[in-house]
Structure formats: structure tokens, C-alpha cells
Amino acid sequence: MMEYRIETLPETLLVGMCLRMSIAENRTGQLWQRFMSRRKEIEHAKSNDRYSIQFYPLDYFRAFSPELEFEKWAAIPVESVDQLPESMEKMIIPEGLYARVFYKGSSADGARVFAWIFNEWLPKSAYDLDDRPHFEILGAKYKNNDPDSEEEIWIPVKKKAVDR
């Protein structure tokens, strides 16, 4: 079992780039390569943390298929936005309740980690998935595909409805 906490995330302003993709046609490497080559153009950065953000359609997990498309962002948190670098956009993650999962290990094990979250932890928890962005924070200890890498996985949740 992985370590996690339930937390309320405050509204978070970010600047970055996005692409539509699917699991079957994963373009994550392309997105991050484009973003990282221009990241220093972003003003008012709050930290060096990188956010990998996914906006999934409402029924994405109910009728999952590797061909279903979603929007993926590579971004960093900012204090404010005066001007946007060319081909970048601002986005806001709204305030809300999240399961914050602390993961140590290779990003190559991602499928196993997310299977545990969605197939084991979430169904047994007091929470349902909420319709807000999912994201990972890739901080100072993140090392792509390294077994000693550390990252935070943030899953939007809401309390399960109580049957009466």
C-alpha cells in the first residue's frame, strides 16, 4: 500500500502547454520536450515543480478505452500572469478535495500505481472520483524512469453519497 493523504488543494494558477492524446497514442514525451525547452520564458514562477495535468472527459473511467482522448498539460505554478509566452496558455486547477498519493519508484511502473489507486484504493475508500483535473507534481526528487524517483499523484475526489 502506498502512503496518501486527503487534502483540499487551493485554486492553483499555472502556465504551460497542452496536447490532446490517448493512452494508445501517447504524446507525453513530445509535450514535455517542447515545454522544457521553453520553460524559462515563463515569468512569476512559484517554484521549480513541474505539473503533469490530465483533463479527462466525464465518462472516461466508466467506459475506459486506450483510444479515448484527453487533454494533457505540461506546466508550472505561477503567482500571476502578465504576458504569456508564445504557444503557451494559462490554466487554473480549481480548489477541491484530492487524494495526494506519495510515490517512490520508476515512472515506468505508472500502470501498476494507477491500477492500485483506481481498482483497489478508490473503490474501498469513502470517496468517489470527482470531475476535476488529475495531476502529478514532479518536484526536485523526480528523476524520469529512475527507481529512486519521487513524485506526488493528485486524484480529485468527493465524499461518497450516503444511501438513506
| DSSP characters over the chain | --EEEEEEEPPEEEEEEEEEEESTT--HHHHHHHHHTTGGG--SBS-S-EEEEEE--TTTTTT--TT-EEEEEEEEEBS--S-PPTT-EEEEEPSEEEEEEEEES-GGGHHHHHHIIIIIIHHHSSEEE-SS-EEEEE-TT--TT-TT-EEEEEEEEEEPPPP-
Q: Which CATH superfamily is domain 3-159 in?
A: Regulatory factor, effector binding domain (3.20.80.10)
The answer to whether the CB of 104 falls within 8 A of the CB of 148 is yes
Give the length of the chain: 164
The ranges assigned to domains in the chain are: 3-159
pLDDT of residue 2: 78
Residue-level pLDDT, tens digit, the chain, 164 residues: 578 999 999 999 999 999 999 999 999 999 999 999 999 999 999 999 999 999 999 888 888 888 999 999 999 999 999 999 999 999 999 999 999 999 998 887 878 888 889 889 999 999 999 999 999 999 888 888 788 888 999 999 999 987 65
pLDDT of residue 164: 54
